[in-house]
Structure 1
């Protein structure tokens, strides 16, 4: 279990030691450029995620993907569900890289997306610390397809916060080729738009329809039967949606205290509203797995709120230092509880890596 605590303590120590970054006086935005230290962290987590061995509840299923795809012709790959993920499997199988090529690619996309997203925030190392217990450990190491989709989505969210709607749509659609559920993020571009709202809503709506017909239409009935009619249950879904609800409430109640840029403010307000709505939906429906999978895309809200947390509620440097420690302690508790008491955490233990096998 100690490797998971190493993964947590590395960004946590930097979060405690680093002060807040000031945004640009012109745009109000933070630079997302990655320096050498961040480059090393991207490499580190790419290897941690990409070279893991028998870690995650669906490990056997992902081995099956790469073993079956070798018998398909190139063009046949694009007729399968989640064609982006299938293509990476096909290339890895043909090159003889097996599951390692797939997981390294997915780990790189996720780690890069997370790093750039964290760099867009005032306390990037605190955001990275908050990401370790669930985003990195559970999602990136357990839900490979949705993890890489979320990596692309985080790149899109950075673009959307900078009012680059076309790039947001591009990154989300690319993510949807790895896990079709990413399509659900597209309408947020229209909701969060602050200029040319009707034009944005029109072309984003068209992009959403195209994505639906290309990626979802043939599988809607199957998804509905599996997630809604079959009432699939997800252990811990209420806890995870509640974890999104806490920062959602903090943001909505103290909204004016958050120094968000003009393009970011409506985006994260809508994320907060959707996160609270999912709690209500979860309580009203027995199909908790469907709600839980949607809630995964709301996880970046935690990073945004808690990265701002020390400055929003701390007026003095001493108070801000205490609040940083409080956030680190809170997510350490989350990490401890999941590793020791989650129903499926045994599938993540012990952590093994191909470099040391």
Structure 2
């Protein structure tokens, strides 16, 4: 049932899903803890000359702010553009998996509701990373490299996934490592290093609350373990197996690191980059059950969907900052109707 909008023979459902998510996320109004912060960033970028604006914070996001502001747009127009990039990456990523519907359901609580509606810049970075996964074919290629570089221009933390891609390249491994490493180093020097000290100081010493980091990291670790329960993971994921394996190893590593690393916020931000691979793990395990024990596939899928639905409900009802998401308001009916 969840394979109904398969990769090749169905376009209507993906287009509708893309449009709905883009509109729902993009035109949100005063949703998320950082709403006021993004308004301030928007005004600062618009009031600055172009080169100065691009030099502030994350370059690609600042550029969108500057263009939209100079054309008379508002911060929710910026959000719509960012939501469009995120949604495009998400839909393409889900379509590349065996069960796009299940993948989207797993992504909804943390990736769509919490991240895309609360952390605009990082959500676009995740969207670009998902596009990099979509275009990854097991060797160095300008498409996935370009998407990863773009992700870093939206949020510097995205540089942390470069090694997972580079090490996953099976063809011409040493060439890939050398070329990919050189590209990553260039990105670090030209983009990430700018303002890195201030960012690290903010995460290590600043008063940033990550009270929900442990349950989010734990959920990711469980998904990472589920990936390795899949006995057919190599044949199911084919040329993307090594990449997905690397990402799931990272999800597992975050859990013990949580108890010893000095900044839980940094680990939480890394965990957000890895959320799409929870979908990979459970979709792969569902496909494995379909092949080996078909009677268990539907109950397993139902359990996963109920679990993630419960996760969203618990977060909305009891999370410290969920009040910034409720009630949902949209700029269309607040400003235009």
Q: Indicate whether the TM-score tops 0.5.
A: yes
* Residue in 1 that maps onto 2:116: 140
Q: Is the 8 A contact 1:117 1:154 kept in 2?
A: yes
Is the contact between residue 231 and residue 287 of structure 1 (CA under 8 Å) also seen in structure 2?
no
Take 2:239 and 2:15, find their aligned partners in 1: how far apart are those partners? 27
- TM-score, normalising length: structure 2: 0.93
Uncovered stretches (5+) of structure 2, i.e. residues with no partner: none
Q: CA deviation at 1:228?
A: 2.5
Distance in 1 (CA, whole Å) between partners of 2:63 and 2:46 is 10
Q: Which residue is equivalent to 2:74?
A: 98
> CA 1:284–1:33 in 2, change beyond 3 Å: closer, same or farther?
farther
* Cα distance in 2 for residues equivalent to 1:319 and 1:20: 19
- 2:305 is matched with which residue: 321, 328, 342? 328
Per-residue displacement from partner, 1:125-162 (whole Å, max 9, x unpaired)?
11111111110000000000000111111000111256
Q: CA deviation at 1:259?
A: 3.5
- 2:241 alignment partner in structure 1: 265
Match for residue 25 of structure 1? none
CA distance in 2, matches of 1:275, 1:160: 20
Separation (CA, whole Å) in 2 of partners of 1:69 and 1:217: 20
For the residue of structure 2 that corresponds to 1:304, the secondary structure is helix
- Is residue 2:32 matched to residue 1:56? yes
How far apart, in 2, do the equivalents of 1:297 and 1:197 lie? 24
Distance 1:258 1:129 in 2: 24
Once the two structures are TM-superposed, the CA of residue 217 in structure 1 deviates from its matched residue by 1.7
2:101 aligns to what?
Answer: 125
Q: In 2, distance between residues paired with 1:255 and 1:272? A: 15
* Matching residue of 1:353: 330
Call closer, same or farther: CA 1:261–1:318 in 2, change over 3 Å.
closer
Q: Deviations over 1:94-116 (max 9, x none)?
A: 11111122001001001110000
> Aligned-residue CA RMSD in angstroms?
2.0
Range that drifts further, 346-355 or 66-75: 66-75
Asked if 1:18 corresponds to 2:2, the answer is: yes
Q: Deviations over 1:261-311 (max 9, x none)?
A: 332111111111111111121111241001100111111111111122323
Deviation, structure 1 residue 325 = 1.2
CA contact (8 A) 1:55 1:352 kept: yes
87-96 vs 217-226, which deviates more?
217-226
1: CA distance, partners of 2:60 / 2:8: 26
Within a 5 Å distance, the mapping from 1:1-357 to structure 2 comes to: 17-19=1-3, 31=7, 35-161=11-137, 163=139, 165-230=141-206, 232-257=208-233, 259-314=235-290, 315-357=292-334
Which secondary structure state, in structure 1, belongs to the residue aligned with residue 237 of structure 2? coil
Range 347-356 or range 68-77, more displaced: 68-77
Q: Report the alpha carbon displacement of residue 185 of structure 1 after superposing the two structures with TM.
A: 1.3
Number of residue equivalences: 333
For 2:69 and 2:26, locate their aligned partners in 1 and report how far apart those are by CA, in whole Å.
15
Counterpart CA distance in 2 for 1:106 and 1:32 is: 26
- Which has the larger displacement, 256-265 or 246-255? 256-265
Measure, in 1, the Cα distance between the counterparts of 2:233 and 2:27.
42
State how far apart, in whole Å, the 1-side matches of 2:9 and 2:187 are.
31
Q: Is the 8 A contact 1:232 1:287 kept in 2?
A: no
> Quick check: 205-214 or 305-314, which moved more?
305-314
Deviates more, 1:79-88 or 1:305-314: 305-314
- Cα distance in 1, alignment partners of residues 149 and 194 from structure 2: 17
